[in-house]
């Protein structure tokens, strides 16, 4: 059992699969928020990055809670990249939730529930924990057992730090703790003053030569410095959603780990809001509004937009950042047309950051960074060809070619990717433009080819129903093209 | 003394306004940092005293002699047991409050130092701590780490 306790729980460093934005470390700004040309994985988009930097600064200072920011721009101009960079720049003390708007459509949860969970995930509550601990290296430990075997044990322990040394008399209960942890001279331990819990941090370096053979799990630590009795203050940030989940009794805390939380009742949310407010009044907690990022925001429908509109007015609202690549289009589920496919009243509340298409030079930089990220050595000519491909087709397609070309070059046991590899991949994997061209040419040979008859039918229905139905049809394949 | 040296350097290079500013900042940050270090050392000394006082109280409680040897300053005095205990207890309270005072001062100084270095202050350090019951409830259910 003691072994199980020794298992140490480490913070999991977020291991991401090589995603499209895994190379981004931050916004790449200097001290005065001026964007550097190439830095922290970001390339170009100077204005947008600078704007994002100002937003980050304001979020850090807690100045713009309950605001809304829209990242608008053409497909693959770095909207998601900027959002990821903002998350990195905010650090891990500010909650950052990233979601795609289509995530909210689920059978288990209503749309507004999914949205309000996402919002509450982005609001942190800062609380402080304070413990008095005694931390030191055991110089000597002496436990007297009565001859009968049972009964009161008494003991003595000498603890030291680099600065001082002192004796403690031990009572029966704490001796049990010492024995359970198998504390012996040379161990570095901490004793929690309030609970009397003893924990072993490891063995002191100065005692490393005590034994010739030591187990692999022995950890050596420095003798603690400074005072023996220390006060440890830890500030935790928990999100409102986490508190919601542990208090929603039907699910229990396991739901927090499985991620399947279902719907949380509004009463519970109200209670928790009340409790958090009470803590805040008492000076025990601070609200730390974070950031909610909604990608592909044009996928939200009218109901969600009005919910967001309302939710952003509450006093515990995060900063909402949205991204869209749509121009003037229909609001989902309605016949109203609006810029970015969002209702005008919501749009009015937003600060809009625009991203612009990358120049050829910038595309080259991005591809270079991606090559490094994927451990792919590419020679200059190949990179030039790939840049050309990226400009003619799309940046995403070119980035995918890096991975495949790398594999091809490795197959022929080459250390670097050459023009031939890229060409081969370009022939093997077709891009969207070529794909649709082939479809157009050979459509008669595919199954269920009913486009002609569809059109005829559509024309009939136009007369019956809405006006611009056939305008919507060609737009359809775009819908899933940008993922 | 430090102050004197600082001004001496400045008079030599007074022509450049940037230099003056850098020196001022450095001086300010060093002063605060120095204060922090001094306080830290003082806390250690006080803790040493606290441990010694605690040991002494235990020692007196263990034996029941009527008179005990105690040092007051550099003098060794045989004192009445009750009197000695009383004095030690008073010392203990005094030391504890002194340490608490220094610790809260330390927090302010550290944030001041961060301010001079143009860093954001540590957030949440001015909060009141959660009580242990609330904390253990949260700890049981949340992945808070150590």
Complex confidence, ipTM: 0.78
What's the mean pLDDT in B85-99? 93
Taking an 8 Å cut-off on Cβ atoms, the answer to whether A238 and B48 are in contact is no
Q: How far apart, in whole angstroms, are the C-alpha atoms of residue A285 and residue B120?
A: 19
Domains of chain A: 38-122+290-354 (3.40.50.300), 129-234 (2.40.50.360), 360-435 (1.10.8.60)
* Chain B CB within 8 Å of residue A34 CB: no
Q: Of A22-31, A94-103, B108-117, which one has max mean pLDDT?
A: B108-117
Q: Which of A129, A193, A248 to mutate to test the interface with B (most CBs of B within 10 A)?
A: A129
Q: Is residue B8 part of a domain?
A: yes
List the beta bridge partners of residue A236: A127
Q: Is residue B22 part of a domain?
A: yes
State the residue range of the domain holding B107. Answer: 2-54+82-124
Q: Is residue B76 part of a domain?
A: no
Q: Is residue B106 part of a domain?
A: yes
Instruction: Give per-residue pLDDT as tens, A209-256.
Output: 777 777 777 888 999 988 899 888 888 888 888 888 877 755 555 555
Taking an 8 Å cut-off on Cβ atoms, the answer to whether A128 and B129 are in contact is yes
Residue A419 pLDDT more than 70? yes
Taking an 8 Å cut-off on Cβ atoms, the answer to whether B51 and A164 are in contact is yes
What's the mean pLDDT in A138-154? 82
Minimal CA separation from A113 to chain B, in Å? 22
* Chain B CB within 8 Å of residue A142 CB: no
Q: How far apart, in whole angstroms, are the C-alpha atoms of residue A386 and residue A405?
A: 10
Q: How far apart, in whole angstroms, are the C-alpha atoms of residue A397 and residue A438?
A: 17
How far is residue A383 from each of residues A147, A183, A405, B62, B85, measured CA to CA in Å? Answer: 82, 61, 11, 82, 82
Q: Is residue B105 part of a domain?
A: yes
Note whether B99 and B50 are within 8 A (CB).
yes
Q: Which of B47, B119, B136 to mutate to test the interface with A (most CBs of A within 10 A)?
A: B47
pTM: 0.71
Report the number of distinct structural domains present in chain B.
Answer: 1
Average pLDDT, chain B: 83
Residue A260 pLDDT more than 60? no
Q: Is residue B131 part of a domain?
A: no
Q: Which of A169, A233, A242 faces B142 most closely, judged by CB atoms?
A: A242
Q: Of A35-39, A66-70, B31-35, which one has max mean pLDDT?
A: B31-35
Q: How far apart, in whole angstroms, are the C-alpha atoms of residue B126 and residue B111?
A: 11
Q: Is residue B45 part of a domain?
A: yes
What's the mean pLDDT in A368-375? 86
Average pLDDT, chain A: 81
Structure-block tokens of residue A404? 């495949």
Q: Is residue B136 part of a domain?
A: no
Q: How far apart, in whole angstroms, are the C-alpha atoms of residue B13 and residue A129?
A: 49
Q: Which residues on chain B are in Cβ contact (under 8 Å) with A236?
A: 138, 144
């Amino acid at each position: 059992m003691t072994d199980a306790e020794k298992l140490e729980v480490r913070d999991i460093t977020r291991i991401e699969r090589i995603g499209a934005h895994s190379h981004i470390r931050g916004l790449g700004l200097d001290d005065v928020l001026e964007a550097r040309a190439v830095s922290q994985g970001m390339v170009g988009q100077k204005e947008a990055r600078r704007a994002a930097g100002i937003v980050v600064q304001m979020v850090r200072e807690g100045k713009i809670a309950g605001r809304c920011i829209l990242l608008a721009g053409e497909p693959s101009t770095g909207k998601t990249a900027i959002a990821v960079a903002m998350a990195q720049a905010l650090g891990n003390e500010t909650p950052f939730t990233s979601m795609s708007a289509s995530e909210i459509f689920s059978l288990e949860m209503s749309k507004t529930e999914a949205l309000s969970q996402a919002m509450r995930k982005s609001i942190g509550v800062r609380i402080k924990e304070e413990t008095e601990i005694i931390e030191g290296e055991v110089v000597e430990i002496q436990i007297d057992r009565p001859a009968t075997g049972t009964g009161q044990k008494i003991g003595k322990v000498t603890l030291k730090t680099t600065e001082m040394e002192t004796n403690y008399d031990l009572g029966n209960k704490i001796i049990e703790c010492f024995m359970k942890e198998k504390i012996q001279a040379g161990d570095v331990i901490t004793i929690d003053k309030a609970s009397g819990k003893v924990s072993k941090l490891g063995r002191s370096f100065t005692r490393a030569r005590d034994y010739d053979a030591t187990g692999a799990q022995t950890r050596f630590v420095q003798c603690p410095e400074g005072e023996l009795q220390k006060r440890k203050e830890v500030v935790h940030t928990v999100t409102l959603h986490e508190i919601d989940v542990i208090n929603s009794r039907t699910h229990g805390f396991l739901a927090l780990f499985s991620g399947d939380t279902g719907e949380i009742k509004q009463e519970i949310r109200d209670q928790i809001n009340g409790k958090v407010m009470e803590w805040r009044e008492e000076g025990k907690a601070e609200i730390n509004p974070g950031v909610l990022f909604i990608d592909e925001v044009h996928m939200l429908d009218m109901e969600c937009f009005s919910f967001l509109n309302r939710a952003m007015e509450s006093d515990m609202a995060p900063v909402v950042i949205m991204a869209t690549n749509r121009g003037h289009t229909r609001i989902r589920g309605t016949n109203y047309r609006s810029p970015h496919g969002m209702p005008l009243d919501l749009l009015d509340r937003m600060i809009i950051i625009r991203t612009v298409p990358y120049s050829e030079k910038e595309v080259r930089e991005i591809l270079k960074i991606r090559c490094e990220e994927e451990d792919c050595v590419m020679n200059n000519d190949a990179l030039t060809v790939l840049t050309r491909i990226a400009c003619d087709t799309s940046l995403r397609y070119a980035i995918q070619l890096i991975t495949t070309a790398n594999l091809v070059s490795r197959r022929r046991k080459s250390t670097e990717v050459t023009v031939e590899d890229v060409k081969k991949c370009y022939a093997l994997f077709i891009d969207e433009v070529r794909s649709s061209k082939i479809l157009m040419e050979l459509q008669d040979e595919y199954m269920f080819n009913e486009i002609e008859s569809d059109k005829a039918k559509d024309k009939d229905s136009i007369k019956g129903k809405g006006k611009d139905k056939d305008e919507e049809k060609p737009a359809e394949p775009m819908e899933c093209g940008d993922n | 003394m430090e102050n004197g040296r600082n001004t001496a350097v400045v008079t030599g290079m007074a022509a450049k306004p940037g230099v003056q500013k850098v020196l001022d900042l450095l001086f300010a940050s060093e002063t605060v940092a120095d204060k922090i270090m001094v306080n830290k050392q003082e806390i250690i000394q006080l803790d040493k005293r606290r441990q010694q006082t605690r040991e002494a109280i235990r020692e007196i409680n263990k034996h029941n002699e009527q008179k005990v040897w105690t040092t007051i300053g550099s003098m060794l005095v045989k004192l009445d047991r009750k009197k000695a205990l009383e004095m030690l207890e008073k010392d203990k309270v005094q030391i504890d409050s002194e340490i608490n005072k220094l610790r809260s001062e330390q927090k302010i100084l550290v944030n001041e130092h961060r301010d001079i270095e143009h860093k954001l202050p540590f957030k949440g350090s001015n909060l009141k701590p959660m009580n242990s019951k609330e904390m253990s409830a949260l700890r049981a259910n949340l992945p808070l780490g150590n």
